[in-house]
Amino acid sequence: MQPILRLEDVSWRRREQTILSNITWTVQPGEHWAIIGVNGSGKTSLLHLVTGYEWPSSGRIEVLGEVFGRCDLRELRKSIGWVSVALADRFAAHHGSDPVLDVVVSGRHASIGLYEDPTPEDLARATHLIEQFGLSHRRTHAFGLLSQGERQRALLARAFLAQPPLLILDEPCTGLDLPARERFLDALADATAAEDAPTLLYVTHHPEEVLPLFTHALLLRDGRVLAAGPKHQVITDERLSDALGIRVAVTWYNDRPWVRVVR
């Protein structure tokens, strides 16, 4: 079976600084990965390599069967969904007056803003997703007037509209209070319960966001992979303490890891 992505001995250097070093990582169909590390560990840089916005200094990258250097990255990116606070801020800054429905429909063409007339099918699917993610009461509201949590759920609906085989979530719960975070995570869990759900790559520095739906975890520190594999084998006291640079203890509850600092 063809892997969703495969990185073989990938390194990335910018000027004289090594950002990522000797990354070897494979994601198979049916797996959902949490990527965990502190700020500056290389999480977002890894995503930029996976999506082709940065080019590796060495190594080989294959995503959705396409080998970098032999494919059109612009076309490949249309098959990769993306949700992040930075994307929400970009929409708010440049298309803040657009109604939520338009923002969700824009996912059909992976555009920032809606530049083509949507089809009735697109509108129907967008309306269904808006309802699924608990935003029916916001459908005609301007995106810029939404709360941070509502913006993230709207972008989640936008990502699912295009039915991408791969969905990347880059610290999507940053800035959310506890209720908003849990509503977002519940929406994500519900949406990925379908058989045709995309493979998830979920970046966070909060292990408690690793939902039961995630099967695997990758720990990064200083641009290197400390551990990668089934989540219960990776998210352990010792390995997580190493990744975070502070001694912690992990307690699994309802198949989510909860972390406390050990003094």
Report domain extents, the chain: 1-79+201-263
* Cα–Cα distance measured from residue 168 to residue 52, given in angstroms and rounded to the nearest whole number: 13
Quick one: pLDDT at residue 122? 87
**pLDDT score of 113 more than 80:** no
pLDDT (mean) for 105-133: 84
Q: In the structure, what pLDDT confidence band is assigned to residue 96 with cuts at 50, 70 and 90?
A: confident
For 198-222, the pLDDT digits (tens) are 999 999 999 999 999 999 999 999 9
Three-class SS state of 57: coil
Structure-token match 């739906």, residue found: 213
Quick one: pLDDT at residue 87? 85
* Cα–Cα distance measured from residue 208 to residue 258, given in angstroms and rounded to the nearest whole number: 5
Quick one: pLDDT at residue 221? 95
The residues, ordered by sequence, that sit 6+ positions from 240 with a Cβ below 8 Å of its Cβ are: 36, 207, 219, 248, 250, 257, 259
Token pair of 129 as six digits: 């997703």
Is 79 in contact with 97 (CB distance < 8 Å)? no
Is 186 in contact with 134 (CB distance < 8 Å)? no
Confirm or reject CATH 3.40.50.300 for domain 1-79+201-263, answering yes or no.
yes
Phi, psi for residue 133 in degrees, rounded to 5: -95, 20
**pLDDT score of 114 more than 80:** no
**pLDDT score of 37 more than 80:** yes
* Cα–Cα distance measured from residue 110 to residue 82, given in angstroms and rounded to the nearest whole number: 9
Quick one: pLDDT at residue 120? 85
**pLDDT score of 56 more than 90:** yes
Exposure letters 154-177 (e unless 16+ CB within 10 A, then b)? bbbbbbbbbebbbbbbbbbbbebe
For 234-256, the pLDDT digits (tens) are 999 999 999 999 999 999 999 99
